Amino acid sequence: MSQNAQDDPASLVPELASLQAVARSISDAVLRTVQWQNDMLSEEMGAPVWLKMENLQRTGSFKIRGATHKMRRLMATRPGLRGVVAVSAGNHAQGVARAAASAGVPATVVMPENAPITKVQSCRRMGATILLHGENLEQARELADRIALEQDLAFMHPYDDQDVIAGQASCGLEMLEDCPDMTVAVVPLGGGGLLSGIALALKLQRPDIRIIGVQTETVAPYRHFLTDGQFEPVAPGAHTIADGIKVKAPGRFTSPLIARFVDEIVTVDDNAIAEAIVATLERTRTIAEGAGAVGLAALMRGKVRLRPDDRAVVVISGGNIDMSLVGRSIDYGLASSGRLMSVAVTIPDSPGRLLALLRTVAALGINVRHVEHRRGELHVPVGKTEVILQMETRDFAHQNELLQQFAAEGMNARSMLID
């Protein structure tokens, strides 16, 4: 793409041959990630479903694709390049750090102060200078811009750049090569670099493929974009476990491509994302971060409707989840899908009553993970004890069966949320 494309978003539609050339040029630095049909998901969805496992990519996400191409373009067009600076919640940072290290170029990355520790440490190991600044990407960007100006560094945008988009398109090319009869692509949407790149790669070959972008419910500036062309403001304190797509500022270059080539945009909440993280772990034996699992979450929650003759490819875009969040995300996902529950049961505080309670639980094939007693609290009558049981169940029907059995035995039980 020409320099004019950088100045005019409407002209940012490359030829397929140029995208294919980019894919070849970065193939030495980018893994061709596995894409396999998942039998269990296919059966549940009523149509064949493939997972494009970008969580197994170098640096743990698709971002290495765009970062590598952008770095090589900078090396070719800016003789005497002094260094690069980037802003990122983590995955782009790691892509930039690796690409810069491979090119022998100093890299500075500005991350929000709440960036996942895993991603911060990974970037530092690859030699990048990491600066933590601000509460979000927008505030981090202010510092990155200032550093770029003061130190004469090239800024590497995480998504709103023609070279980055072209690099991400290599993922879409692989998707179609590995599933030539695909009819649906489900792709995470943050700033839009991955979605617009994949959309280009697919639509330039097969305009009939339905392309669906997925945002998180609380950070969804593109929610109604395809219907009214407007961006939805994001609340200042918006929170999501999908930190990798917590992008409030839509792209100048990505948005026209999304408007032209993307068919639908849907959203999913954190409950659905947590369930998808668990599903990825169980069904692929790999880990997905929140942002990487949103496409699968949309499929599992019925936000993406498949026909029996569809062939769907879902992009698992990254696996760089903070280890401190893994256990909580798994419990959250299990609880939201009915496989983990906490119940408070009030029983007489006398010998043998706890044993009787546990026998009732065991008779229904329920496993107890944790038991806690509460005595002497205002809501617990004198002579009684409240027993908190955290248990593993099959589904919500199984949980209701237990509550009904407690009621039949005259026990006062209430379901509690998992903390």
Q: What is the pLDDT of residues 48-90, one digit of tens each?
A: 999 999 999 999 999 999 999 999 999 999 988 999 999 987 8
Residue 333 placed within a domain: no
Residue 329 placed within a domain: no
Q: How far apart are CA 261 and CA 206, in angstroms?
A: 11
For residues 91 and 174, membership in a common domain is answered with no
For residues 127 and 108, membership in a common domain is answered with yes
**Catalytically annotated residues:** 63, 317
For residues 38 and 81, membership in a common domain is answered with no
Residue 10 pLDDT exceeds 90: no
Q: 40 in helix, strand or coil? A: helix
Question: Is beta strand 35-37 parallel, antiparallel or unpaired with respect to 154-156?
Answer: unpaired
Q: 187: pLDDT confidence band, cut at 50, 70 and 90?
A: very high
Which phi and psi (to 5°) does residue 49 adopt?
-130, 125
Q: How far apart are CA 202 and CA 328, in angstroms?
A: 36
Q: 374: pLDDT confidence band, cut at 50, 70 and 90?
A: confident
Looking at residue 249, its pLDDT comes to 83
Residue 193 placed within a domain: yes
Residue 392 placed within a domain: yes
Angle at 182 between CA 10 and CA 166, to 5 degrees: 35
Which residues, other chains included, contact 378 with Cβ-Cβ below 8 Å and sequence gap of 6+?
A: none
Q: 124 in helix, strand or coil? A: helix
Q: Give the total number of structural domains in the chain.
A: 3
- Hey, what are 4's tokens? 């004019």
Q: What is the pLDDT of residues 317-335, one digit of tens each?
A: 999 987 777 888 788 878 8
Q: What is the pLDDT of residues 119-174, one digit of tens each?
A: 788 889 999 999 999 987 788 999 999 999 999 999 999 999 999 999 999 999 99
Residue 45 placed within a domain: yes
Query: 121-126: long-range contacts (C-beta < 8 A, 24 or more apart)?
Result: 122/59, 122/60, 122/90, 122/94, 122/97, 122/320, 123/90, 123/93, 123/94, 123/97, 126/94, 126/97, 126/98, 126/101
For residues 207 and 316, membership in a common domain is answered with yes
- Residue 248 or 209, more confident: 209
Residue 3 pLDDT exceeds 60: no
Does an H or E element contain 399, and which?
helix 396-408
Task: Put the strands of the sheet holding 210-216 in their side by side order.
Answer: 35-37, 49-53, 312-316, 184-188, 210-216, 264-268
For residues 364 and 308, membership in a common domain is answered with no
For residues 346 and 412, membership in a common domain is answered with yes
CATH number at residue 147: 3.40.50.1100
For residues 198 and 320, membership in a common domain is answered with yes
For residues 138 and 279, membership in a common domain is answered with no
- Residue 5 or 188, more confident: 188
Q: What is the pLDDT of residues 219-259, one digit of tens each?
A: 999 999 999 999 999 998 898 999 889 888 889 999 999 99
Question: Is beta strand 184-188 parallel, antiparallel or unpaired with respect to 49-53?
Answer: unpaired
Which phi and psi (to 5°) does residue 323 adopt?
-60, -30
9, 256 contact by CB (below 8 A): yes
Q: Output the average pLDDT for the chain.
A: 91
Last residue of a domain, one of 89, 123, 156: 156
Residue 91 placed within a domain: yes
109: alpha, beta or left? (left if phi > 0; alpha if psi -120 to 50): beta
Residue 352 CA, distance from chain mean position: 48
For residues 205 and 264, membership in a common domain is answered with yes
Q: What is the pLDDT of residues 392-415, one digit of tens each?
A: 999 999 999 999 999 999 888 988
Q: What is the pLDDT of residues 20-40, one digit of tens each?
A: 999 999 999 999 999 999 999
Residue 331 placed within a domain: no
- The three-state (H, E, C) secondary structure of 310-328, written as one string: CCEEEEECECCCCHHHHHH
Q: Which of 86-95, 198-207, 256-265, 304-313 has the lowest mean pLDDT?
A: 86-95
For residues 357 and 241, membership in a common domain is answered with no
Q: How far apart are CA 29 and CA 34, in angstroms?
A: 16
CATH number at residue 382: 3.30.70.260
Q: What percent of the chain has pLDDT over 70?
A: 96
Q: How far apart are CA 323 and CA 102, in angstroms?
A: 27
**DSSP bridge partners of 154:** 84
Could you give the residue ranges of the DSSP H alpha helices within 14-90? 16-25, 39-45, 63-77
Q: 132 in helix, strand or coil? A: strand
401, 364 contact by CB (below 8 A): yes
Looking at residue 378, its pLDDT comes to 64
Last residue of a domain, one of 156, 171, 188: 156
For residues 32 and 50, membership in a common domain is answered with yes
Residue 330 placed within a domain: no
Last residue of a domain, one of 156, 181, 211: 156
For residues 33 and 86, membership in a common domain is answered with no
- Domain residues for the domain of 37 are 3-62+163-324
